[in-house]
Amino acid sequence: MKGAIANLEIYAFERVETPGAGPRRLSLAITAPERREEGGGWACRVALADLHRPRPVEGRDSFEALAAAVACARDWIEALEAEGYVLFRDRAGERRLELP
């Protein structure tokens, strides 16, 4: 995503493997906070390609907008895990995705 300040490649494996199916590659991206002209707040865009198109996440200031974007990304990741996916940082499935 253009203007991204943070990117993460995620490989989603189904808990129950489908024969011949490999991991699903997803790209998580968050842009730098930008001042909104309307309302005076700030916003970051966050996306999880192929599942969630870029969308603005707003805050009263740049820090709050960035924190809200990270929280949104975390919610999406937790939803994938709740659906039964196991998430990794590599295609081989050797480095488990763990967020601080």
Contact between 41 and 34 under an 8 Å Cβ cutoff? The reply is no
Summarize pLDDT for 6-43 with one digit per residue, the tens. Answer: 999 999 999 876 666 789 999 999 999 999 988 789 99
Between residues 86 and 38, the one the model is more confident about: 86
Residues above pLDDT 90, as percent of the chain: 81
φ and ψ of 32, to 5 deg: -65, 150
* Whole-number pLDDT of residue 9: 96
Q: Where are the domains of the chain?
A: 4-88
Strands 24-31 and 4-14 come out as: antiparallel
Single pTM value for the model: 0.88
Q: Quote the CA–CA distance of 51 and 99 in Å, as a whole number.
A: 19
